[in-house]
Amino acid sequence: MPVLVTGGAGYIGSHAVLALLDSGWPVVVLDDLSTGFRDAVDPRAALVQGDVGDIALTRATLARHKIAAIMHFAGSIIVPESVADPLKYYRNNTANSRALIESAVAEAVPHFIFSSTAAVYGVPSDHPVTEEWPTRPANPYGTSKLMTELMLADTAAAHAINYCALRYFNVAGADPDGRAGQSTAGATNLIKVATEVAAGARARLDVFGDDYPTPDGTGVRDFIHVSDLADAHVRALELLVEDPARSHVLNCGYGSGHSVRQVIAAVERASGRPVAHRIVARRPGDIAMMVADNAALVERAGWQPRFDSLDRIVADALAWEARLAKSRARDLTSA
């Protein structure tokens, strides 16, 4: 069953491509390469360069490759940017997703896995957060993702398609075998930035607020290793294939949280170097804490994490930064 992976040249998408290929699924990647990288796509996969909002291109790709499932990663993901430029997020995340869903229905693709987010919950007052928690997004990023979830639910009720919306908490780390990692310039993910500082690629880390109602005053997040998350996508696909009449909404996290200060300490521990940082004002849209209840993912999909420790996530992220540094050095030498 060939799988179309949109955004498969990006950070999470490229890891999902690896997980699918390693499990024997043929893969076609659709990516406009605006933020992704051509060399991030495993050569075992076919690459089509284009926009998921281009219905003619998408339909032709689905038909040509006889696609039986879609994993949809393409979109914009930065919360503060969504507050400053909400229409960008409603175009990239909502309008383009609607076009992709239309293409899936038109080409009779039976299964759809959607890269959603814990931001759909807004500011929950209880932790860990279950999938039954009311969806009250606190920023346009969360709203743009929730709107796609709603479109999928309505589409599944009207057409022969089932879906799984995977609500990510905080994704970090890199492929343990060094095949993929996060290479995005100017990334805002905490562990990515902290490891860049430790590797000398950034001058310092900004800590956005130290006055939250948390044990050490800094924000607490549930960090999930990107390879465990990629495996969750494969498990979700198997779940959809096993029961085509049922759809799912599943949290993706470990059920435990770590603060910004704890992340800094872990990076310093692993690298043996200090992580220069400063306290600055909170960012618009940020919240104090977000921790997942992952029981549904474990029970329904049979998912079991393999890399569920902060130290392992940081170690793999640091290893990827070392590879990027070597690559930059080679480029300078060849120039």
The DSSP line for 248-279 is EEEEES-S--EEHHHHHHHHHHHHSS---EEE
Is the alpha carbon torsion for 161, 167, 171, 176 positive or negative? negative
Q: Report the chain's C-alpha Rg in angstroms.
A: 19
Query: Which position among 89, 141, 163, 254 bears the catalytic label?
Result: 141
Active site residue 90: no
CA dist 327 and 262 (Å) reads 29
Maximum CA pair distance of the chain?
Answer: 58
CA 206/CA 193 separation, integer angstroms: 9
Residue with tokens 């430029």: 85
**How far apart are the C-alpha atoms of 127 and 250, rounded to whole Å?**
16
Taking the C-alpha atoms of residue 258 and residue 221, their distance in angstroms, rounded to an integer, is: 6
Closest to 161 measured CA to CA, from 96, 56, 238, 247: 247
Non-local CB neighbours of 289 within 8 Å, separated by 6+ positions: 127, 212, 214, 219, 220, 221, 257
What separation in angstroms does the CA of 177 have from each of 14, 17, 171, 291, 320? Answer: 13, 14, 17, 28, 10
Query: How big, in percent rounded to 5, are the helix, strand and coil portions of the chain?
Result: 45, 15, 40
At how many degrees (to 10) do helices 260-271 and 190-198 cross? Answer: 30
Instruction: Give the number of C-alpha atoms closer than 13 A to the C-alpha of residue 70, restricted to the C-beta side.
Output: 31
Q: State the angle between helix axes of 226-242 and 11-22 in degrees (0 to 180), rounded to the nearest 10.
A: 60
* Residues classed as catalytic: 141
